[in-house]
Chains A and B, each alone.
Chain A
Amino acid sequence: MNIFRLAGDMTHLISVLVLLLKIYATKSCSGISLKTQELYAMVFLARYLDLFSDFISLYNTVMKLVFIGSSLAIVWCMRYHRVVRRSYDRELDTFRYWILVGACFTLALVLHEKFSFQEVFWAFSIYLEAVAILPQLVLLQRSGNVDNLTGQYVFFLGAYRAFYILNWIYRYLTEPRFTRWISCVSGLVQTALYADFFYYYFISWKNNAKLQLPA
Chain B
Amino acid sequence: VITDSAKDEL
Residues in A lying within 8 Å of B, measured CB to CB: 5, 9, 12, 50, 53-56, 60, 63-64, 67, 113, 122, 164, 167, 180, 183
Chain A residues lying within 8 Å of B9, measured Cβ to Cβ, are 5, 164, 167, 183
Q: Nearest chain A CB to B8's CB is how many angstroms away? A: 5
- Chain A, interface SS category: helix
- Tell whether, in the assembled complex, residue B2 and residue A55 are in contact, meaning their CB atoms are under 8 Å apart: yes
Q: Are B3 and A56 in contact (CB-based, < 8 A)?
A: yes
Chain A residues whose CB sits within 8 angstroms of the CB of B4 once the complex forms: 56
> By the criterion of a CB under 8 Å from any partner CB, how many residues of chain B are at the interface?
10
Complex partner residue of B5 from A12, A54, A164, A180, CB under 8 angstroms: A54
Distance in angstroms from A139 CB to nearest chain B CB is 25
B interface vs A, CB < 8 Å? 1-10
* Distance A12 CA – B2 CA, assembled complex (angstroms): 25
CB-nearest residue of chain B relative to A164? B9
**Top 8 A-B residue pairs of the complex, sorted by shortest distance between their CB atoms:** A54-B3, A56-B8, A54-B5, A55-B2, A63-B10, A9-B10, A122-B7, A55-B1
How far apart are the CA atoms of A164 and B8 in the complex, in Å?
13
Distance of A54 Cα from B5 Cα, bound (Å) = 8
**In the complex, residue of chain B having the shortest beta-carbon distance to the beta carbon of A64:** B10
The interface residues of chain B lying within 8 Å CB-to-CB of A60 are 8, 10
For B1, list chain A residues within 8 Å (CB): 53-55
Residues of B within 8 A of A12 (CB): 10
A-B contact list, 10 entries, CB within 8 Å: A5-B9, A12-B10, A50-B5, A54-B3, A54-B7, A55-B2, A56-B4, A56-B7, A60-B10, A113-B6
In the bound complex, do residue B5 and residue A67 qualify as a contact, i.e. CB atoms below 8 Å apart? no
Q: For residue A3, give the distance in angstroms from its CB to the closest CB of chain B.
A: 14
B8 nearest in chain A by CB position: A56
Name which residue of chain B comes closest to A118, CB basis. Answer: B7
Please tell me if the beta carbons of B10 and A67 are within 8 angstroms of each other in the complex.
yes
**Complex CA distance for A108 and B1, rounded to whole angstroms:** 26
Nearest chain A residue, comparing its CB with the CB of B9: A5
Of A56, A67, A122, A180, the contact of B2 (CB 8 Å cutoff):
A56
